A and B are shown apart, each in its own frame.
Chain A
Amino acid sequence: MNKIIIVNDEITEKDLDNSISVTYSGNEFLSEIKIDILSDTDLTINYISTEETKLHLCFNILEGVKCNLFEIKNGLKYKLGYIYNLDKDSKINICKINDINIIKEQLIFNLNGEFAETNYLLKTISDKKEKYDLMVYHNASKTISNIINNGVNVLDGKLSFVVSGFVPNGKVDCVLDQKNRIINLTNKKCEIKPNLFIDENDVIANHSAHIGKCNEEEMFYLMSRGIEPKEAENLIIRGFLLNGLKQGQNEMENIINKYWR
């Protein structure tokens, strides 16, 4: 398994085979990491922040290449920028688990070649301030994006998802799917802004956005089997955060247990 550990804005460990090429550059203002995915592979990146961390990452997924990327972040404060460039027939499956205090993250997906595909899944528990801004550019026909953002807002948390999909005129047969959901267990304000900027008729696009407490009908169902309200809420949240994770279940469980033991 390819693995990179990034502490603050520096790569402290990397264990990579020849399917991945990593170059690091930086100055006093911003560090930049360029990751080229050269052949089919899996990659795990662990981020640890002990101080305010600013970092820019650029992933290039070459033609015909498939990559499963798993990221887990711990720590204090992040300001991150991501660019994912996907060539023809390439695919990146991204799964992110965040256990952090403050984050501002901007992600740009450039689906540059036909049949390029990205499947993105974020799971986070927000207890301070988290803002995620995703932009998905369908720059070629027959490109696919599936974006899922799942967050639970607790304590002093403020959580924001802004997700924008773009399809210019002439880029046909694209598929865009966005599912954003926040379970807000506080009275603080959370926001989801799902945007679809589509200038082409021949497109399949779906989006859903939901902010609220735990679903009342789900609570009723669980309680009708003798489960107390608090425990029912815990089950629903645990299920919500673990659902769909193919990797990182143990890490997610550990984070959940910090809040809902």
Chain B
Amino acid sequence: MTNLKIKNLTVTVNNKEILKDFNLEIRPGEIHVIMGPNGTGKSTLTKIIMGDPNYKIVKGEIYYGDTLINDLAVYERARLGIFLGMQMPMEIEGVSNADFLRTALRSKNENFKLYSFIKELDKTVTDLKMGKDMIHRGINEGFSGGERKKNEILQMHILKPSFVMLDEIDSGLDVDSLKIVGESVMDYFNEEKPAILLVTHYQRLLDYIKPDFVHVMADGKIIKSADASLVKVIEEEGFDKIKKSSTSVIKENE
């Protein structure tokens, strides 16, 4: 079982600090949610964990299990079991979803079996209520926002990661699709017991995915962590109030 551990991580992009002494630990079978105002580094955090080369780690470490992954390439992190369901999944013309997933699975698993792959793909497409033709279309080509998000969840089911990050997976989803996606994530969680890190702005996703920990992020660091009850406080009081109270606590401590 593999923990993700981030220790005193400071990250810059174009010489601007995005994360400052950031700390977080997520264990297998835990669901963590990160919430916070726009532009505080939530999506950036997921990209840094995934290894986006646009971000530079100035100091600190990211461990996945015993492996320090700071300098690992993106594909090497993915092969360790790290998965990022993206906020705005790319459209890649001409590369069919089926070819893409087959290539990804083959590169991860030498014992790849085509029949099992097709069978699982077919089942997951049905469960997610996606059009059967989507699997043969270019990656996200002509997909609506909701279809793209479902496609991310489909990839999660097929690739079976042990650490799942879902960045605003609820945006662009109608109420019915939100329920399908939320339940599908929980089905995966119950089957595989991965660690999950969600980034969201809204409480509605958490009607389906029940978090163990909720973190509020501001200015590149976590300013408050609590259990799921924190979501209600955020809904009622907003981020500003939490940010102010957290700032005063920090000042008192100083």
Contact = CB atoms under 8 A, between A and B. Distances in A.
Interface range for A: 20 to 34
Contacts of A235: 92, 95, 99-100, 103
B10 interface: no
Interface in B54-76: 73-75
A239 B138 contact: yes
Contacts of B43: none
Interface string B65-105: 00000000111011100011010011011111001110110
A36 to B, nearest CB: 35
Interface string A232-261: 100110111111100000000000000000
Contact residues of A: prevailing secondary structure: helix
Interface of A: 217-218, 220-229, 231-232, 235-236, 238-244
Interface residues of B, number: 31
B94 A222 contact: no
Given A221-B89, A235-B99, A239-B138, A228 B94 contact: no
A223 B100 CA distance: 11
B70 to A, nearest CB: 17
B84 A236 contact: no
Contacts of A241: 94
A220 B89 CA distance: 11
A223 B74 contact: yes
B108 A226 contact: yes
A244 B94 CA distance: 8
B90 A227 contact: no
B104 A243 contact: no
Contacts of A242: 94
A220 B48 CA distance: 12
Nearest to A242: B94
A222 B52 contact: no
B155 A222 contact: no
29 contacts: A217-B90, A221-B139, A222-B100, A222-B104, A223-B74, A223-B75, A224-B50, A224-B75, A224-B78, A224-B86, A225-B83, A225-B101, A226-B75, A226-B78, A226-B107, A227-B75, A227-B78, A227-B104, A227-B107, A229-B73, A235-B99, A235-B100, A235-B103, A236-B95, A238-B94, A238-B95, A239-B138, A242-B94, A243-B94
For the complex of A and B, list the 5 residue pairs with the smallest distance between their C-beta atoms, beginning with the closest.
A239-B94, A243-B94, A239-B95, A226-B78, A223-B74
A241 B95 CA distance: 10
Contact of B107 (A217, A221, A228): A228
B159 interface: yes
A227 B92 CA distance: 15
B187 to A, nearest CB: 20
Nearest to A245: B94
Most buried by B among A217, A220, A225, A238: A225
Contacts of B78: 223-227
Nearest to B96: A239
Nearest to A243: B94
Given A217-B90, A224-B83, A227-B104, 17 more contacts: A218-B90, A220-B52, A221-B89, A222-B95, A222-B100, A223-B75, A226-B78, A226-B104, A226-B107, A226-B159, A227-B103, A227-B107, A229-B75, A235-B103, A239-B94, A240-B93, A241-B94
Contacts of A217: 90
Nearest to A235: B95
Nearest to B165: A224
A221 B2 CA distance: 23
Contacts of B77: 224
A236 to B, nearest CB: 7
A238 B107 CA distance: 17
Given A231-B103, A241-B94, A224 B74 contact: yes
Contacts of B86: 221, 224
Contacts of B107: 226-228, 231
A238 B94 CA distance: 7
B159 A239 contact: no
A195 to B, nearest CB: 25
B92 A221 contact: yes
A231 B73 CA distance: 14
A222 B138 CA distance: 13
